[in-house]
A and B are shown apart, each in its own frame.
Chain A
Amino acid sequence: MNCAECKELLVADLEGLLDNSQKQAIREHLKTCDACRAEFKGLQTLRQRLVDHGKVLAQSSVENEVMNRIIREQNLRLKSAAQAGAGLRIRRLIMRSSVVKIAVAAAVVLVALGAWSLWSGTESGVALAQVLVKVEQIQAFMYKMTMHTKGQMQGMDLSSIDVTGSVLIANEYGMRMDMSMTNPNSSLDMTQQMYMLPERKMMMVVMPKMKRYTRMELDDSMFEKMRKQNNDPRMLIRQILDCQYHELGKSVIDGIEVEGFQTTDPAYAGSALGDVDVKIWVDVKTSLPVRMDMKIKAGEQMEMEGTMHDFQWDVPVSAAEFDPVLPADYTAGPGDGMKVPAMTEETGIEGLRLYAAFTGEYPAELNMMTLMRKVGDFRDSQTPEGQKLREAMDQAKTVDEKTKVLLEQMMSVQMLAGFYGTLVQEQKEPAYYGKLVEPGDQALVLLRWKTGDNEYRVLFGDLHAETVDGATLATLEAALPK
């Protein structure tokens, strides 16, 4: 070994990276070469000096001060409304508001549509026929709503969110909701306009405070359904005649004589909402709704309480009210351009597959609230699917891209609830056995619904589908564990 070779290896030697023969060669050379020995000594001394100094610095700790300051400052920033957004814009905080938005929006839409259903079964002083005649004459109406949500999704604090807003529905144009959401405990303070625009086959959310908007393309069939539901309440009345309800008798609201009805039927709004308790009060004279109170509960963790009131019938509307204005400085939000999948069998299967991949089991129930709560945990899932999601999140460069990844994931699972809700609404006699069936089970019925006379569609635990007759279905269902 010559000096040049030796010098090249000295650092690697000090770092313990050489094999025995190389070490030996260096030792041999150092024995005979003063210059290299001096070099080695010099390096050793410097290295020791660095090591010692590193140890000294490692003793002083700024950790606790830093963490205390961060927590103090985070709280301060969150408290001060003016500084909202000045704190670390936590990915999930953003997602949280999107989730809330979608959760609230979805629930509101369903409730709003479901509201019609209660008109159906009235056999009291308020006659169904009267209601239908009235409603047919109405071209546009609006109402106000106030809503309060309480609860928690894993990692997403939904505690105490107040929603107030007004809803305008016009046969000709679609639906528009102006909402504001606040949470006194956090920085959440947002206003949004949500549009359902059948002509444009689009759902659009505009958030003026954040200067953002999100456009979502809705499937044709879905819009067709919505259009029917929005424009022809008779559809819904027929659909939800099955809803069990009871009369609450007469009462007076705002000086108006009303008659009340209540349902706690889980089939309400297509079973998509969890436990419900809905009361509707109808004007005895006009047969039009005056007020609606609802309580929705999904498990122990999430509750929603709201009122729809101040109904105004036959309000004048203009096209401009359904033409969202987007100032030039508004930017598209993370969900913009997403396509809401049609509520078909495939959507249902994909939702079930995804849920099982993340959790290793099927959801116990297929209602929107329960599923949404669970979706919050997906990111922490220790499954390959969870790992994949985290990788996709890491690859997404911006917060928006990351949020979009999550939204896409959530959409599939939410649409599962939508699919099931559709089956209920369309009275296809769906039955779901998620509590009894495990992913991969080839022989057990997971979900079934009616597709014709003596004809059923069956999804099995391994998510293959078959069409069977009633007798076969009965045998299949008898095989389910008790």
Chain B
Amino acid sequence: MTETDQYYVGRCLDGHPDDFRHLVRRYQPVLLAHLAGRLGHRDRAEEAAQETFVRAYFKMDKLRKPESFLSWLLAIADNVAKEQQRAEHVRRKRASVRVFCEEAPQPELSEDYGLEAVVAGLPEAYRTVILLRYYGGRSCKQIAEQLDMPLGTVTVTLSRAYALLRNALQQRQQMYEVNR
């Protein structure tokens, strides 16, 4: 698993579809965290992650910069999430017509939905570093290499991301208490 994203993208394009496995393995927790935050539902996040990977695979020949595979993947994930939400919305509307008084089901929260949601809400630069560090299992040094930034910038970004996350988590907590 030491090869770069570019390497595996190249292998896939050379007709070795099985090498896509390495990219899936590398980014599935990242994608799940990202999508769980977007969708608020663990099973749906898994479904969306699958769909994202499959789409990414078949679109790979359109990936202009293989070194930005992750941000490209996350953009596809965002589209998939949006589509799912729209479909879900339609489904609920229809269901609510059929079953007039039944309430829409509450999203099934994953273990730490609050955390996923605030991570998903981070500005992209911070989100990417957090996702790579904690869900992608990368060290700060590896992130610096992958994103082509100085190590110092990675730690500064991480610090800032922590601050934003703590703020957001506090706000959620407060809202939660108010709503109770």
Contact = CB atoms under 8 A, between A and B. Distances in A.
Contacts of A52: 112
B73 to A, nearest CB: 12
Given A46-B162, A66-B24, A11 B155 contact: yes
Nearest to A47: B162
Interface string A51-72: 1111011101111011101110
Contact of A57 (B32, B53, B59, B140): B32
B46 interface: yes
A397 B9 CA distance: 13
Contacts of A50: 115, 130, 133-134
Given A91-B14, A399-B61, A62 B158 contact: no
B28 A90 contact: no
Nearest to A92: B15
A67 B25 CA distance: 11
A49 interface: yes
B95 to A, nearest CB: 27
Contacts of B140: 15, 17
Interface in B149-164: 151, 155, 158-159, 162
Interface residues of B, number: 48
Interface in B98-131: 111-112, 115-116, 130
A379 B14 contact: yes
A47 B166 CA distance: 10
A10 interface: yes
Contact of A397 (B25, B64, B162): B64
A58 B15 CA distance: 28
B58 A73 contact: yes
Interface string A387-401: 000100110010100
B8 interface: no
Contacts of A51: 134
Of the listed residues A15, A66, A393, the one surrounded by the most CB atoms of chain B closer than 10 A to its CB is A66
A89 B61 contact: yes
Nearest to A90: B15
Given A62-B46, A63-B21, A90 B13 contact: yes
A299 interface: no
B46 to A, nearest CB: 6
Given A51-B134, A53-B115, A69-B54, A62 B28 contact: yes
Contact of A60 (B21, B32, B57): B32
A360 interface: no
Contacts of B64: 397
B115 A394 contact: no
A46 B166 contact: yes
Interface string A134-152: 0000000000000000000
B80 to A, nearest CB: 13
A73 B50 CA distance: 13
Nearest to A393: B10
A88 B49 CA distance: 19
Contacts of B165: 46
A88 B9 CA distance: 12
A394 B6 contact: yes
A155 interface: yes
A12 interface: yes
A18 to B, nearest CB: 10
Given A51-B134, A54-B135, A60-B46, A43 B162 contact: yes
Nearest to B114: A49
B13 A70 contact: no
B135 A88 contact: no
A87 interface: yes
A74 interface: yes
Contact of A67 (B18, B29, B59): B18
Interface string A28-46: 0000000000000011001
A128 interface: no
Nearest to A380: B14
Contacts of A74: 17
A56 B46 contact: no
B56 to A, nearest CB: 9
A50 B37 CA distance: 13
Nearest to A51: B134
Contacts of A86: 58
A58 B32 CA distance: 9
A273 B133 CA distance: 56
A39 to B, nearest CB: 10
B53 A10 contact: no
The 8 A-B pairs at the shortest CB distance, nearest first, are namely A50-B134, A54-B134, A57-B29, A91-B13, A11-B159, A90-B15, A66-B53, A92-B15
Given A17-B140, A54-B33, A62-B24, 9 more contacts: A49-B112, A53-B112, A53-B116, A54-B137, A67-B17, A67-B24, A69-B54, A70-B53, A89-B61
30 contacts: A8-B159, A11-B162, A15-B155, A46-B165, A46-B169, A49-B112, A50-B130, A51-B134, A52-B112, A54-B137, A56-B111, A57-B28, A58-B137, A62-B28, A62-B53, A63-B24, A63-B28, A66-B24, A66-B57, A67-B17, A67-B21, A88-B13, A88-B17, A88-B57, A88-B59, A90-B61, A92-B14, A93-B15, A394-B66, A399-B61
